Amino acid sequence: MADWNPALYSRFEEERTRPARDLLARCRLGGDPHGAGLRIADLGCGPGNSTELLFERFPEAEITGFDTSDAMLEQARQRLPACRFERGDIGAFAPERPFDLVYANASLQWVRGHERLVPALFAHVAPGGLLAAQIPDNLAEPSQTAMRRIAREPVFAPFLDGMDEARETIPPRASYYDWLVREAREVDVWTTVYEHPMDGALAITDWFRSTGLKPFIDPLPEKERALFLDRYTQEMEELYGERADGRRLLAFPRLFFVARRR
């Protein structure tokens, strides 16, 4: 895929950051309330919106954000000069020392094989520390099924043969519990469905242009890319009806877990 677009991603920053706040609210770490002496990793930090929450909560901690996008990392460095940001692949995360909090907001969905990934990440948490993650669980939502359906249409299929959203259906909550509980003192798993009011169908398209639509539109020539986005907006117009205020509600299920290492 082409590199991520921080400006487009940040257009809906308030909505994207809300689950990060909800996840952080469940993260209880002992010691200094300002985080002195703590080491925190933000996996898939993006433009730094989730890292900023960590910094506000733990201003004296050593916080490092990791991402594979140079554009996102540059944005994050400008936003939070007091934190460190490094290029890093979540699937190959192997720090020299464990972290007290490994935090991943809307990033693990881009790595396949969670039955291996989640225990591997938990192994890099210090005793008494936390692994905390929020994972979009929306592949069955109309916003996602429309992408795959449009990709099979004759005008797009030659460019997108076999293409999907570069994600796999995430396992049930109980699976995450089982993978973590063997090495955990406590595990909390839950799902929240957010209902985001959107100004219109085009706003839904803009939301996903910076995330889920990228694997579909990035390989397309310019003309076909514009056609795909128009078709997708038409689908959103039909699938997400107007509410009483003229806006449309975008349902977005997300799975959360917080595990404390023994």
The closest of 91, 219, 90, 85 to 163, measured between CA atoms, is: 219
pLDDT of the residue at 7: 60
Arithmetic mean of pLDDT over the chain? 94
Residue pLDDT, tens place only, 74-92: 999 999 999 999 999 999 9
Reading the block at residue 59, the tokens are 């201003």
Instruction: Output phi, psi for 195, to 5 deg.
Output: -115, 100
Reading the block at residue 173, the tokens are 């909550």
pLDDT of the residue at 13: 79
Read off the pTM. Answer: 0.91
Detail the DSSP E strand segments found in the chain: 39-43, 62-67, 84-87, 99-105, 125-136, 184-198, 248-261
Sequential DSSP letters for 91-116:
GG---SS-EEEEEEES-GGGSS-HHH
Instruction: Output phi, psi for 145, to 5 deg.
Output: -65, -30
Domains of the chain listed by start with CATH number: 6-137+168-201+250-261 (3.40.50.150)
Instruction: Output phi, psi for 40, to 5 deg.
Output: -125, 135
Residue holding tokens 């890319």? 225
Q: Are 126 and 38 in contact (CB under 8 A)?
A: no
pLDDT of the residue at 162: 74
pLDDT (mean) for 4-32: 83
SS3 at position 180: helix
Instruction: Calculate Rg over the CA atoms of the chain.
Output: 19
Residue pLDDT, tens place only, 162-187: 777 778 899 999 999 999 999 999 99
**Angle, alpha carbons 257-1-168 (nearest 5°):** 35
Residue pLDDT, tens place only, 131-162: 999 999 999 999 999 999 999 999 999 999 87
Q: Are 229 and 217 in contact (CB under 8 A)?
A: yes
pLDDT of the residue at 5: 57
pLDDT of the residue at 9: 57
pLDDT (mean) for 223-235: 98
SS3 at position 56: helix
Burial 9-31 (b: 16+ CB within 10 A, else e): bbebeeebbebbebbbeebebee
Q: At what angle do helices 49-57 and 70-79 cross, to 10 degrees?
A: 40
Tell me how far apart the alpha carbons of residues 106 and 217 are, in angstroms, rounded to a whole number: 21
| Least confident interval from 7-16, 47-56, 61-70, 250-259 | 7-16
Residue holding tokens 């881009």? 110
Residue 109 confidence (pLDDT) above 70: yes
